[in-house]
Structure 1
Amino acid sequence: MTVLATFARIYVDDLDTALPAFRALTAGEPRLRFTHQGIELAAIGGFLLLAGPPEALAPVRTTQATVVVDALDEVLDRAPREGAEILAPPRTVPTGRNLVVRHPGGAVIEYVEFDATTRAAAGLPH
C-alpha cells in the first residue's frame, strides 16, 4: 500500500466563507469539491474542509485525517493484524471507496482509494 496524499480534516461553518483564507494559505484552488451525505467538502493544499449542519457532521467529527492510498484492500487486511479497529467498512463514495479505522492509541483515520477520475482531478499518480 502506498500513501498518495494526506489531508488534515478541518470542520468549518461555511465552505464558501472559509475557502478564501485557505486559498491565501495554500496559494491554490480546491482540487476537489463535492457534496456527500449533506456535507460539503473541498480539498485544497493539504486540507480537507468539511461543512454542513451539525447532525450531518456529528458522525464524522471524530475522524482526524483523510489518507489517500493506492490499495484500500491492503488497509483492510493490515489494520486488524496491527490491532486497529474497522469503524466503517469499505463503501462506495463520490471519489471512489473509503473505510474508517481507529488505530491503537486512538487515532481515527479515513482511508480513501480514489477512482481514476478523482485521482486525475487531484493531480495524483495513476
Structure 2
Amino acid sequence: MNLHQIASGLIGQVNPFIDSTIKVYSGETEDEAGKTITTYVDIAVNGQLQPLAWKDLQQLDGLNITGVEKKFYVNGNFSAISRPGRTGGDLLVIGSQVWMIRTVLELWPDWCSLGLTLQVT
C-alpha cells in the first residue's frame, strides 16, 4: 500500500508538489581533449521538498554531511551514493537549483525520501 500516494492529496494542499528532474548517473565518457564527462539519464518526477526533521539532521550529522540540506519525497525508488556498489552521484534538479542525492532517509516499496545537499553551480 502506497501511503505516500494516499496522503499526498492532503499534504499537497499545504506543501505543493514540485515538477523536477532526477538525473541518474549512467557512467562517464571522454571528450576529444581527454576530459571526463559524466553522463546521466533524466527522469521527470513530481515530489515535495521539505525541511529536515531533527531525526534526519542527526542522521546526516552522523554521516558528516554539511551544507544546505533538505528532504525530498518522491514516488519510486532512487539510490544514494554507494562507493562499493559504484552507484550514486544522482542529482535532483528543481528549476535552477541542483541538489545532490546524498542518502535515502526512507525506502518503501512505492516511494522514498531522499536527503539532499544543495550544489554550487
Question: TM-score, normalising length from structure 2?
Answer: 0.28
More strand by share: 2
Q: Structure 1 or 2: larger helix share? A: 1
Q: Normalization by structure 1: what TM-score? A: 0.27
